[in-house]
Amino acid sequence: MYETKPMAPTDRHATPPATTALAHALSAAERGLAVFPLSRTKFPALRSPHHDDPVPTPCRGECGSFGHGVYDASSDPHQVRALFAAAPRATGYGIACGVPPYHLIGVDVDTKPGSTSSAALRELALRHLFSIPPTLVVITPSDGRHLWLSGPAGVAVPNSVSRLAPGIDIRGAGGYLVGPGSVTMHGVYRTAPGTGHLPPAPCPSALLRLLLPPPPSRRHARPGPDDQRGAGLVHFVRAAHQGQRNTRLFWAACRAHENGLGATLTTQLIAAALHTGLTEREARATIASAARLTATRSRA
């Protein structure tokens, strides 16, 4: 499907980055993937046509102009060429997730030294009885991994940051992945050896259930006390084995803060962490890190 290699140092006779990006984008479009131009910052290369509007305009391309980010994405080669002609400084391309024919889901796994995300994904797979099938994998400039999976039609997987587990981000409906061959300020995105010929594999049903939001509660159901609502998070921490204690505590603390239970559950989470063998100092530091992360995301 794709075969990309790190680009050689450029010289005055080298192919312009925009031309290379367009070639990669057209190759992706030939396979039915909807693409659009990106800048070196990995953000859309085209400025919004509503940037100077006195009142923000809720538009996803209905106005007919380019500059709507992922909503510009197309697999029509004529449209793709027009997009890149309007963005001559583009150095990469984005691939829209959640759209036909693949309904792409991107699993972004942080593999930097010290990261526990790969271990967390393996733990989730063991606990929920699924495995990641052979699929196309893209290596990021920071040596992270983007696993490409195909979702079912009519199911919108939401974007999320570390909701599944710390260091694992999900790109779903309304999101996009940086395509292999894209050049960014940090380096080149490339396919992992041996995966370039693979299409996005179907997302395992057990993993798909984890990626979807829980069903809305019934109207007559009344929420219980905060300590009852957080009982599952506390139990999740208490059940941790050595090697997964910090990961579980961090994940549970993030969920607690996201749901307004951070202050309520701190004491219980610390007690659960002590039960697993962590020290109080370690537990408080992990919970504080989770609080900072969720506060940062809420301001973004």
Question: Where residue 12 falls among pLDDT bands split at 50, 70, 90?
Answer: very low
Question: Where residue 244 falls among pLDDT bands split at 50, 70, 90?
Answer: confident
| End-to-end Cα separation, the chain, in angstroms | 35
Residue 209 has pLDDT above 80, yes or no: yes
Q: Across residues 53-69, what is the average pLDDT?
A: 80
**Within-domain flag for 203:** yes
Q: Across residues 106-124, what is the average pLDDT?
A: 88
**Within-domain flag for 3:** no
User: Looking at the structure, do residues 54 and 200 belong to the same domain, yes or no?
Assistant: yes
Q: Across residues 66-87, what is the average pLDDT?
A: 95
Residue 140 has pLDDT above 60, yes or no: yes
Residues 6+ apart with CB under 8 A from 49: 63, 65, 66, 67, 68
Structurally, the chain folds into a number of domains equal to: 2
**Within-domain flag for 232:** yes
Residues spanned by the domain of 278: 226-299
Four-point Cα dihedral 27, 33, 38, 42, nearest 10: -110
Pick the more confident residue, 274 or 294: 274
User: Token pair 């991994």 is at which residue?
Assistant: 145
Pick the more confident residue, 19 or 243: 19
Question: Where residue 57 falls among pLDDT bands split at 50, 70, 90?
Answer: low
User: Looking at the structure, do residues 151 and 44 belong to the same domain, yes or no?
Assistant: yes
**Within-domain flag for 220:** no
User: Looking at the structure, do residues 107 and 138 belong to the same domain, yes or no?
Assistant: yes
**Within-domain flag for 1:** no
Residue 191 has pLDDT above 50, yes or no: yes
User: Looking at the structure, do residues 206 and 232 belong to the same domain, yes or no?
Assistant: no
Closest among 30, 18, 28, 178 to 83, alpha carbons compared = 18
**Within-domain flag for 287:** yes
User: Looking at the structure, do residues 70 and 143 belong to the same domain, yes or no?
Assistant: yes
Q: Across residues 33-39, what is the average pLDDT?
A: 97
Residue 109 has pLDDT above 90, yes or no: yes
